[in-house]
Amino acid sequence: MKRIEELIRPNIRSLAPYSSARNEYSGHVAKVFLDANENPYNAPFNRYPDPLQTELKQIVAKAKCVPEESIFLGNGSDEAIDLAYRCFTQPGTDNVVAIEPTYGMYKVCADINDVEYRPVLLDEKFQMNADRLLSACDDNTKLIWICSPNNPTGNNLQREEIEKVLNAFDGIVIVDEAYSDFSKQKPFRLELAKYPNLIVLNTLSKAWGCAAIRLGMAFASKEIIEVFNKVKYPYNINLLTQQQAIEIMKNPYEVEKWVNLLLVERDRMCNGFRELSICRGVYPTDSNFFLAKMDNAQIIYDYLVGEGIIVRNRTRVALCQNCLRITIGTKTENNELIAALRRYKK
C-alpha cells in the first residue's frame, strides 16, 4: 500500500490544527485555569472537557485490547466516517467503493463531501466478492467501505474476502464492526499491526446500551489517528458523554450479560418468525437484529405501526425487497411483536 502521508488529502497534509487552551499545557500539572475564558463557577461543567479524552481512552484500550495511541473517539461513528472523507478524499475528484446493501451513512457522507460513491452488490447470500470490489476501484479510489456484521443484513462477511481486500488495495480500508460484540468472529481491531491501511469502527450504541450518549470509536495506526485528531473539532466529546462512557465501561460483565440475553432472544425470535405463515424466510445473522423476508413488507409494516410496534422496512434497499429488519428487544417487547404478527390477517 501507499504510505499514509501519500494518501492524505493535500490541504489536510499541510493543515495547521487549532491549538486549544487545554492542549498547550499538556504534560504539566495545573490547578489554576485562567487560559480558556471560562466562567470560574458551576464546576465541573464550567470547564472544557479533555480534548483527547485521555482517561476514557485508557479504559477503552483495556476493554478493546487496542493501544491508546490507536484510538479515536468521535461524536458517534458518523464523525469518524465523515473524517475519513475529509482526511483522505479530494471532493469532485476521488471516489470510494462500498458493499451494497450496507449502512446508509457511508453514501450520505460521500454525497456531502462531493465524492463519487461506487456500490458493489453482494451475492444472494449477502456475501462480498473481493475481486468484484477491487475491480470497481481505479487510481482515484481512496476508501473501501466494509461493514461486518453487515447492516441491514446482519451477517458476518467472509473473513478471507476482507483480508484479500486489505492485502490488495493500496488505499484505506474501513471495516465497520458496530455489531462485533454479538459475533463470534475475531474482530479486525486486533489486526491493526498487520494492516497499516485499516480503520476499524466501533460504538457504544449497540451492545453497550449507550446510543443516547453518541460515542463512536475508530481504531487504526498511530499515523491515521494523528490525522483524525488534527482535523476533528477541539472538544468533540462533551464531559457528560465521557463520564457516562467511563461508568458503563467499568461494567463489562453487565454488558456481557445483556449480550447473552439478546442472543438467546434472537434465536427464539428467528424461530418464531420462521413459523409465521406470512414469513418467507429469515436470513442468517451475527448481530442483535435479523432480516426477514415477508409476504408484503410494506403492508405488514403499516399494520405494525398501527399496533404501536415499530420495526424497519428495508424493502427499498438493494437485494432486500419485502424484507423487514427486526431489532431484538426485551422478552416482553419481542412477545408483543410475535403476538401482533400472529393476529395479522392477509
- For residues 304-312, give the mean pLDDT: 98
- For residues 88-105, give the mean pLDDT: 98
- Cis peptide preceding 152, ω within 30 of 0: yes
pLDDT at 313: 98
The amino acid occupying position 104 is G
pLDDT at 302: 98
Q: Over the stretch 210-259, which tens digit does the pLDDT of each residue have?
A: 999 999 999 999 999 999 999 999 999 999 999 999 999 998 999 999 99
Q: Percent of the chain, pLDDT > 70?
A: 99
- For residues 270-289, give the mean pLDDT: 98
Partners of 50 in the beta sheet? none
* pLDDT for residue 23 is more than 90: no
pLDDT at 339: 98
Distance (Å, rounded) from C-alpha 338 to C-alpha 336? 6
pLDDT at 223: 97
- 235 close to 48: Cβ distance less than 8 angstroms: yes
Distance (Å, rounded) from C-alpha 335 to C-alpha 73? 36
Look at residue 48 and give its three-state secondary structure.
coil
pLDDT at 30: 84
Q: Over the stretch 286-306, which tens digit does the pLDDT of each residue have?
A: 999 999 999 999 999 999 999
pLDDT at 19: 85
pLDDT at 27: 65
Residue 316's φ and ψ, nearest 5 degrees, are: -90, 0
Q: Over the stretch 167-208, which tens digit does the pLDDT of each residue have?
A: 999 999 999 999 999 999 999 999 999 999 999 999 999 999
**pTM summary value:** 0.96
Q: Percent of the chain, pLDDT > 90?
A: 93
* pLDDT for residue 346 is more than 80: no
* pLDDT for residue 120 is more than 90: yes
Look at residue 104 and give its three-state secondary structure.
coil
pLDDT at 190: 98
CB-CB neighbours of 46 under 10 Å: 12
* pLDDT for residue 113 is more than 80: yes
- E strands present in the chain: 71-75, 95-100, 116-121, 141-147, 172-176, 198-203, 215-220, 279-282, 289-294, 312-313, 323-327
* pLDDT for residue 24 is more than 80: no
* pLDDT for residue 345 is more than 70: yes
- 218 close to 80: Cβ distance less than 8 angstroms: yes
- For residues 100-106, give the mean pLDDT: 98
Alpha carbon distances (Å) from 229 to 53, 196, 286:
11, 17, 32
